[in-house]
Amino acid sequence: MTETFLGMPATAPAGVGNLRGDEPFPVAARRALADAQLRRNLRHATGTIRAKSAAVIGEVPDWPELRAAGRAIKSDTMARLPELLEQLEAAVTAAGGTVHWATDAVEANRIVTDLVRATGADRVMKVKSMATQEIGLNEALEAAGIEPVETDLAELIVQLGRDRPSHILVPAIHRNRAEIREVFLREMPGVDPALTDEPAALAAAARRHLRATFLSTKVAVSGANFAVAETGTLAVVESEGNGRMCLTLPETLITVMGIEKVIPTWDDLGVFLQLLPRASTGERMNPYTSMWTGVTPGDGPQQVHLVLLDNGRSAVLADEVGRQALHCIRCSACLNVCPVYERTGGHAYGSVYPGPIGAVLSPQLTGVEENASLPYASSLCGACFDACPVMIDIPSVLVHLRARHVAEQRAARRTPSAEAVAMAAAAYTMDHPRLYAAAQRAAGLGRIAGRALPPPLNGWTASRDVPAAPPQTFRQWWSERSRS
């Protein structure tokens, strides 16, 4: 391989990590739609969080300004990403930490495995982290004879239940309390057989179960919500205190972070620390936020590592329209408002990044052709854009990716599906505001007249409903689609 080739933006390699599902979205979604319990669990959970979130966002007098500031900081970060990463590296190193770079999942897994091996440990404790799920770190550690212990309650439920996460924030959102109790009774050694399904009792059982692990494990692996370039500070936002345990108790701390998590300044934290908890858990502030800068003598881990991960992010950055997916702060608000997610759940998306953000991020990380059904996993209702605390225009990126899919199929001399052709036309129309407005007006009439769009959008509505009124339209879209 030549050096020039090595230095070009690259997608995430296949065969490692959890960015690609085993089957296309429509197939997986059809199965999920048949699961009434799943749908009840999701409806209850997302409804709860939407109400809480709306209430605490309503208390913030400058929410629109904060969102705009969040977007501006992220755009600025992406424009200067190489310089900011170098600055971060210098600051972390100056504070006694060690920085590693990983071009992809394979390299990141090897770096972490080698670091753990060097300590002689055969067990690590983990704070919930999307990046390590993305690269399949647990699988890599297990293959190397190292036991990863998930310490976040939801991750623990998933790990004990030999299940897969289905939500960014609440990986076990698809489980209700009765199901969680069953998992604990079956899989948790020494659990009290009289355990009830009271959430407080379940939380207490997890506390007892993990105490000994916290006190005896010498290595922890975390992700990071933010990394401040100018100071070298890393931040982890959490609720339970398992994060504090992992960040404080062990001798060695290894943090794996996607390169897009860097922010320029200390002052910028003030914007994101206000946006994230309110949009995410619907709290004014999450119970615990930890910040550390390299090594503090006599306090916490004395060996501190930071692994900076590309794994497809450079390819996302190369797409002028799609790169805004890198602005995501993983709050999961877009999942909680999405009519498609609420019905299919997270597993149908196949990737660790489900819901609207997953539908734009996963195909860009892997290359559109390897997650080609995801940009279609949306009704384009726009709720995700409205909810996003950093104003990522997910619907526009979806349309853009559908057009890319069509273009790539054409380039490969394959005939695009009728749906793909219609989407390309839609993408063109949506890029041209006056045409789009005319089409939307016509679409509004069309809904009354019989749910058909005028050309060039009619190819699209031939197979589904016009994007609006989420609950009915998606279901209708679905039934029509499965019949075709």
Interatomic CA distance for residues 303 and 126, integer angstroms: 16
Q: Which of 237, 390, 426, 430 binds ligand SF4 (CB under 6 A)?
A: 390
Rounded distance between C-alpha atoms, residue 265 and residue 408, angstroms: 39
337 binds another protein, rule: CB under 8 A: no
Q: 333: burial class by Cβ within 10 Å (0-12, 13-18, 19+)?
A: buried
Q: How far is the CB of 363 from another protein (least distance, A)?
A: 17
- The DSSP bridge partners found for residue 297 are none
Q: Does 456 sit behind a cis peptide bond, omega within 30 degrees of 0 on the bond before it?
A: yes
Closest distance of CB 305 from ligand SF4, Å = 26
Among 98, 119, 239, 463, the residue binding another protein under the rule CB under 8 A is: 239
Nearest residue (CB) to ligand SF4, 392 versus 401: 392
Of 86, 114, 142, 192, the one binding another protein (CB under 8 A) is: 86
For another protein, the binding residue among 150, 319, 342, 419 (CB under 8 A) is 319
How near is the Cβ of 350 to ligand SF4 at its closest, in Å?
17
**How far is the C-alpha of 445 from the C-alpha of 333, rounded, in Å?**
31
Residues 335-374 that bind ligand SF4 (CB under 6 A): 357
Choose between 133 and 332: whose C-beta lies nearer to ligand SF4.
332
- Residue 271 binding: pick among ligand SF4, another protein, none (C-beta 5-8 Å cut-off by kind): another protein
Please list every residue from 392 through 431 that binds ligand SF4, using CB under 6 A.
Answer: 392
| CA nearest neighbour of 360 among 308, 408, 325, 320 | 325
Residues 305-334, interacting with ligand SF4 (CB under 6 A): 328-334
The site for ligand SF4, by CB under 6 A, has a size of 13
Query: Pattern 23-62, binding to another protein, x per CB under 8 A?
Result: ------------------x--xxx-xx---------x-xx
| HEC sequence for 414-426 | CCCCHHHHHHHHH
Torsion, Cα of 131, 135, 140, 141 (10° steps):
0
Name the binder of 68 from another protein, ligand SF4, none, CB < 5-8 A by kind.
Answer: another protein
For CA atoms 216, 219, 225, 231, give the dihedral sign: positive
Distance separating alpha carbons of residues 192 and 353, to the nearest angstrom: 35
Spell out, one character per residue from 290 to 309, where the chain touches another protein: x when CB under 8 A holds, - when not: xxxx--x-xxx-------x-
Residues forming a β-bridge with 236 = 290
60 or 191: CB nearest ligand SF4:
60
At residue 44's C-alpha, the angle toward residues 41 and 45, to 5°, is: 85
- Strands (DSSP E) contained in 11-161 are 98-102, 123-126, 147-150
Region of 75-83, 339-347, 360-368, 471-479 interacting with another protein (CB under 8 A): 75-83
Q: Which is nearer to ligand SF4, 325 or 425 (CB)?
A: 325
Nearer to another protein, 400 or 464 (CB): 400
Task: Give the shortest CB-314-to-ligand SF4 separation in angstroms.
Answer: 19
CA distances from 372 to 21, 50, 174, 350, 378 (A): 11, 30, 25, 12, 13
Nearer Cβ to another protein (132/290): 290
Give the nearest distance from C-beta 213 to ligand SF4 in angstroms.
29
